[in-house]
Amino acid sequence: MNRSTPSKSAESRPATRTAGRRESAAARGQRTAAIVARLGRAYPDAECSLAFANPFQLLVATILSAQCTDKRVNMVTGGLFSRWPTPAALAAARPAELEAVIRSTGFYRAKAKNILGCCRALVDRHGGEVPDSLPDLVKLPGVGRKTANVVLGTAFGRAEGVVVDTHVGRISRRLGLTKQPDAVRAERDLVTVIPREHWIAYSHWLIDHGRAVCTARAPKCERCPLEDLCPKVGVKPKSRKKDRLP
């Protein structure tokens, strides 16, 4: 994967709190640079947790990862790619057999339909290869902008956008880098504030951060390396026992 290395000078910049007042573009740029630097320091080994050996495998694994954990997907893809190792082989699979193999990932009928359609399109339109352009990828059945960005960034090392999954969207909103609940609109905001050389890593960092610290239900702000840089938009203060009436 493309590992970006944030500069130490950015990391040492002073923190800027934003809660309760409008943040200037300059202040946001400075704060974002510090966020990027600290994330890079906190998660130096962050990378895609889906197992894959080539762009085709990552494409299929990413389709399977919708509404499913990467761990579960990895339990399925080993057997899947042993049985159907190429787009041509998988395109010829019987739907019922593919559904049985991927059943545990959920939404298996829709996923099987998308994977079969995608593999047929790879064979018919791209000579059995995964294209390395965003316009070609998003024309494949079952491939949206997020899946295309995962494949481009992680398999081809091409930063064409920011992958906005549930962790990236949630944490970016808490950090005040976007207000958009919609992934495509959030990505539009993020590509204007995150330096391009960090687009790929930013998603990997936030996915690790979302699993370890900034979880959906109970973010651990008190031990977060971004605490003084984060306005914690939408995060409810923890109720403190000593404040409660007996």
Which pair of tokens denotes residue 14? 């002073």
Which of 70, 136, 165, 189 is catalytic? The answer is 165
Q: Rule CB under 6 A: is residue 238 a binding residue for ligand SF4?
A: no
132 is catalytic: no
Q: Rule CB under 6 A: is residue 167 a binding residue for ligand SF4?
A: no
CB 158 within 8 A of CB 133: no
Q: Rule CB under 6 A: is residue 198 a binding residue for ligand SF4?
A: no
> Alpha-carbon distance 173 to 56, whole Å?
32
242 is catalytic: no
Please select the residue that binds ligand SF4; options are 71, 83, 109, 220, rule is CB under 6 A.
220
Q: Rule CB under 6 A: is residue 171 a binding residue for ligand SF4?
A: yes
Question: What is the separation of C-alpha 56 from the centre of its chain, rounded to a whole number of angstroms?
Answer: 18
Token pair 């495509």 is found at: 184
Interacting span for ligand SF4 (CB under 6 A) from 4-12, 97-105, 185-193, 212-220: 212-220
Please give the sequence-ordered ranges of beta strands (E in DSSP) within the chain, or none if there are none.
none
> Alpha-carbon distance 15 to 156, whole Å?
35
If binding means CB under 6 A, how many residues of this protein chain bind ligand SF4? 14
> Alpha-carbon distance 172 to 179, whole Å?
8
Nearest distance in Å: CB 227, ligand SF4 = 4
Which pair of tokens denotes residue 158? 């091409």
CB 163 within 8 A of CB 153: yes
Please select the residue that binds ligand SF4; options are 174, 183, 201, 205, rule is CB under 6 A.
174
Interacting span for ligand SF4 (CB under 6 A) from 85-93, 106-114, 195-203, 220-228: 220-228
Q: Rule CB under 6 A: is residue 221 a binding residue for ligand SF4?
A: yes
CB 199 within 8 A of CB 161: yes
> Alpha-carbon distance 169 to 181, whole Å?
7
Please select the residue that binds ligand SF4; options are 47, 70, 189, 227, rule is CB under 6 A.
227
Cβ closer to ligand SF4: 90 or 206?
206
Active site residues: 146, 165
Chain positions contacting ligand SF4, by CB under 6 A: 171, 174-175, 213-214, 219-221, 224, 226-227, 230, 232, 235
